[in-house]
Amino acid sequence: MPSTLRRSKVPLYRQVQEVLERRLDGGSLRPGDKLPPETELAAELGVNRLTVRQAIGELTRAGRVVARQGAGTFVAQPPQHFPIELTPSYINDPDGMSHAFAAVGRHVTEFLVSSEVVLGGTAPEAEENLPGCRLRRIDTVLAVDGDPWFVNAYWLDDKRFRGITRLLGEGTPIYSVWNDAYRVRLRAAWRSFGAGSATPRVAELLDIPTGAAVVLRDGLNLDEDGKATVYINRSCRSDRVRFVANYVAET
């Protein structure tokens, strides 16, 4: 590394981080590119390997790069922006995500993680929104081009959707099952958004560090008769997803 940088009051790992950020911003390292090995970067920049590792760790926490076990560290894809449509339209896929990703040439799949009937008192928010039901909780992962971006928990009436678990095939979106197998069309009643940290379980499913920042999104869906039908909790990778609210001018 040039001596002018060494004399700086900025710590060495920050200087290395800034060098790599300039390469990311300048396009010499593009989304999907693999970063050079730590030893190669250390030799090029005149620092030790641990300094490079610390710099890459900071970039990982910022969502600029992603480590893949056994493969190396790669430049992350830029976040996908999702418009929030405040209209009473029906949901034909995971909240319009399939359509949004298809528009930019990407593919969404959903994989079943677990399914179980939950005991009373263990899911108070779901019970409040779906009163009088024997609730089933279904956990899934939504993946974009095979990369996990969302961890989902759905609560629904086990009696109404009897046998749903066996219909959730590999990669089949749960919204497709509701539409096709049960003839239930859903529309959003409300959505809420918040910031949180990945629990160990969510972190494992999303392949991110425990405690990494996630976007939390809760919501309730109604059927065509206006009956509360599905309560949803979703943990979204904050380095992959941004939600955008569009304001519509009054007419």
pLDDT at 2: 47
Question: What percentage of the chain reaches a pLDDT higher than 90?
Answer: 40
- The pLDDT confidence band at residue 153, using thresholds 50, 70 and 90, is very high
The pLDDT tens digits of the residues spanning 13-72 come to 888 998 998 898 888 888 889 999 999 999 999 999 999 999 998 888 777 888 887 888
pLDDT at 121: 78
Q: What pTM value is reported for the model?
A: 0.66
- The pLDDT confidence band at residue 95, using thresholds 50, 70 and 90, is low
Query: How is residue 77 written in tokens?
Result: 């894809």
pLDDT of 11 higher than 80: yes
pLDDT at 139: 95
- The pLDDT confidence band at residue 210, using thresholds 50, 70 and 90, is confident
The three-class DSSP label of residue 153 is strand
- CA triplet 56, 59, 65: central angle to 5 degrees? 90
- H or E segment to which residue 50 belongs: helix 49-61
How far apart (Å, rounded) are the C-alpha atoms in residues 172 and 109? 7
Cβ–Cβ < 8 Å for 154, 176 = no
DSSP tag of 164: G
pLDDT at 208: 87
Average pLDDT rounded to a whole number, residues 131-144: 93
The pLDDT tens digits of the residues spanning 75-92 come to 887 766 555 444 445 555
- The pLDDT confidence band at residue 195, using thresholds 50, 70 and 90, is confident
Beta carbons within 10 angstroms of residue 191's beta carbon: 16
- For the chain, give the number of residues: 251
Residue ranges and CATH numbers for the domains of the chain are: 12-75 (1.10.10.10), 82-244 (3.40.1410.10)
pLDDT at 77: 77
Average pLDDT rounded to a whole number, residues 108-118: 91
pLDDT of 182 higher than 90: yes
How far apart (Å, rounded) are the C-alpha atoms in residues 126 and 123? 5
